[in-house]
Amino acid sequence: MADLGVILGDLDAETRTIDDVVANLPASGWARATPAEGWTIAHQIAHLAWTDRKALIAAARPEDWQAEVEELLKAGETYVDDGAAAGARRPPEEILEDWRAGRAALAEALAAVPDGQKLPWYGPPMSAASMATARMMETWAHGQDIFDALGLTREPAMRLWHIARFGTRTRDFAYKTNSLAPPAEEFRVELTAPDGSTWAFGPEDAEQKLTGTALDFCLVVTQRRHPADTGLVAHGADVEEWLGIAQAFAGPPGNGRKPGQFAPPTDSFPRRRQ
C-alpha cells in the first residue's frame, strides 16, 4: 500500500524545486513562453494553483464536487485553458502566493482523509494517496515546461518513482480516452532509476516489454517529450502503440510534443522497437 506521508513529502519537495526557480524571476520571466502552446510560465503556475483548488474541493468538501463539475460543463471544453489564462493575468507575486497557500491547504486536507475513502475527480474516484500522486505527476510535468522555457536542466530525483508507477497504472485509461480497447495482456516495464537501480512494473514473464530510463518514461507519460526524442525501447507492437498515446493526466487526449522538438538525451540510445 502506498504511504501517503511519503508521497506528500515528495510532493512538497517537488513544489519547492519549482518554487525556487520562479520565485526570483522578474515579471518578464513570468511572461516567457513555454513549450505548451499559448502558455507562459505564469500560465503554468496559475494552472497548478487552479488544479490544487479543485483537488481541495474533492478532498475537503466532496459533497460540493457535483456542483463543481456542473459549473465546468457550463464553461465548455476550454475550462482548463480559461482557468490558466484568468490566473495568469494576475501579478506574479499574487500567482505565487495563491499557489503556495493552495498547495499547503491541499496537503493538510489529503493528510486528514480517512483510510479507504475515495475522492471524486474528473476521472475515476481515487484514494488520497492516488490524488497526491496525481498532483505530484502534474506538478512535475508543468515544472518541466518551466525548466524547458528557461533552458534549465533538472536533475532527476528518486521521487520520480511515484510518477513512473502512476504512468504504468494509467495504461488502460490512455487507451480508453483515445477510444481504443486496451490490450488484454499486461506489459512489463523495466526502468533505470536515477541512482542506477532498476524499477520494474508488471509481470516478469509478460510477452511485451518497455525498457529505458525512468526519466524518459515519465517525460513520455506526461507528454513532455515525444517518444522519438527519448531512448525508450518498445519490445512489441502493442507497447509501441501505447507509447504514442500514453497519458497519465485526466481529460481528453493531449497534444503532446512534436518529434524532434527536443534533442534525445546524449546518454540514451536512439529509440527502437524490438
Kindly state the average pLDDT of the residues 87-107.
98
Answer whether residue 2 shows pLDDT above 80: no
Q: Exposed, middle or buried by CB within 10 Å (0-12, 13-18, 19+), for 210? A: buried
Answer whether residue 217 shows pLDDT above 80: yes
Answer whether residue 273 shows pLDDT above 60: no
Kindly state the average pLDDT of the residues 105-126.
94
Least confident of 74-78, 92-96, 156-160, 206-210: 74-78
Kindly state the average pLDDT of the residues 243-248.
96
* Band (72; pLDDT cuts 50, 70, 90): confident
Kindly state the average pLDDT of the residues 109-118.
96
Kindly state the average pLDDT of the residues 250-269.
72
pTM comes to 0.92
State the pLDDT at residue 266.
42
State the pLDDT at residue 264.
58
* Band (255; pLDDT cuts 50, 70, 90): confident
Answer whether residue 246 shows pLDDT above 90: yes
Least confident of 9-18, 115-124, 232-241: 115-124
State the pLDDT at residue 158.
98
* Band (253; pLDDT cuts 50, 70, 90): confident
